[in-house]
Chains A and B, each alone.
Chain A
């Protein structure tokens, strides 16, 4: 079993839709839960991170962590064509120095 599982998509939605992106993980030792956005032919950029459990909101983006079910989510409200990118989840535990990425979900928001 991979330590982080992520549906590769692609996911196509109309402009204005609510997008839900999800990952599951297997090791409960991780403390940081991140979402990265990667545009074509660019490096990943950190979008949001959550330390431990709970929700975090930043504009149209909400990151959610449920440590009991080992499930992390990213919600995008009022999606825009500029949100079209690959979204990667990642988990990290500073004590282990292990940083694990999901394979990424390709999102396309149609105008």
Chain B
């Protein structure tokens, strides 16, 4: 199994450009989420999804859109990039069944907005 695959690994955008960060998982997990990680601020939840067709906002959703048309894919769209969106973005998927639990992160996308 590949786990959680994120593309691209690195990206430089100009202010105002839009782009989509891709995330795919092959573990049939229902729950997927996007985080951004900034120095001193830890991981902050942007958006999450509890299944295909269902998404919701996290802690810092402004400037980002998501959709979940399939269980496997959960892309994150930056609508109009701003320097404040320079960060490392992680996608994750998880499951829980009673006391069993699993949570897998992708390797991250380093985004710089100039």
| Interface set of A (CB-CB < 8 Å, partner B) | 6, 8, 32, 34, 41-46, 49, 51-52, 88, 92, 94, 97, 99-104
Contact = CB atoms under 8 A, between A and B. Distances in A.
Interface of B: 31, 33, 35, 40-45, 48, 50, 56, 90, 94, 96, 98-99, 101-108
B42 A34 contact: no
Contact of B90 (A8, A44, A100, A103): A44
B103 A46 contact: yes
A49 B99 CA distance: 10
Contact of A42 (B41, B101, B104, B107): B107
B99 A104 contact: no
B48 A97 contact: yes
A44 B33 contact: no
B42 A88 contact: yes
Given A44-B90, A99-B33, A51 B99 contact: yes
A88 B43 contact: yes
B43 A51 contact: no
A43 B103 contact: no
Contacts of A34: 101, 103
A104 B85 CA distance: 21
A32 B43 contact: no
B43 A43 contact: no
A42 B108 contact: yes
Given A44-B43, A44-B90, A99-B45, A32 B105 contact: no
Given A43-B106, A88-B42, A100-B45, 14 more contacts: A34-B101, A42-B107, A43-B105, A44-B105, A45-B105, A46-B103, A51-B99, A88-B43, A92-B96, A97-B56, A99-B33, A101-B35, A101-B42, A101-B44
Given A32-B96, A97-B31, A99-B45, A46 B104 contact: yes
Given A8-B40, A104-B42, A43 B90 contact: yes
Nearest to B100: A51
Nearest to A100: B45
Nearest to A8: B40
